[in-house]
Amino acid sequence: MVQVQDGLLQVILILKHLVVSFNLTNSCSEIQKMMYGFGDSSHPLKETAELVEKIVKGQLIQFLNLLFEVAVKIDSKKIGVREFLILLRYAF
């Protein structure tokens, strides 16, 4: 089993919590506000916000899975900053 260092563990747990418990009605309104803040219309379509949410969830899940794969490949017993930097260096 791969262990996670404390600081990174908190980040991963927060990300997993966001992915699992994202409330569709609340997150869509928040995403619409962010879209407006980044230059979209003052009332972006709900369908667009839902698509953005779906994309972000998928990317977060993919990123977390890649992070665990890196730890396994380098035979690390912990996921920490080193594994995160390896992932950033070689995956992107």
pLDDT of the residue at 38: 86
44-77 confidence digits (pLDDT tens): 898 998 898 889 888 888 888 888 888 888 888 8
One-character DSSP codes across 27-76: HHHHHHHHHHHTT--SS--HHHHHHHHHHHHHHHHHHHHHHHHHHHHTT-
pLDDT of the residue at 47: 92
HSE-up (13 A, CA, CB side) for residue 18: 16
| Mean pLDDT, range 29-47, rounded to an integer | 87
In this structure, what DSSP letter does residue 2 have? Answer: -
- The pLDDT mean for the chain works out to 78
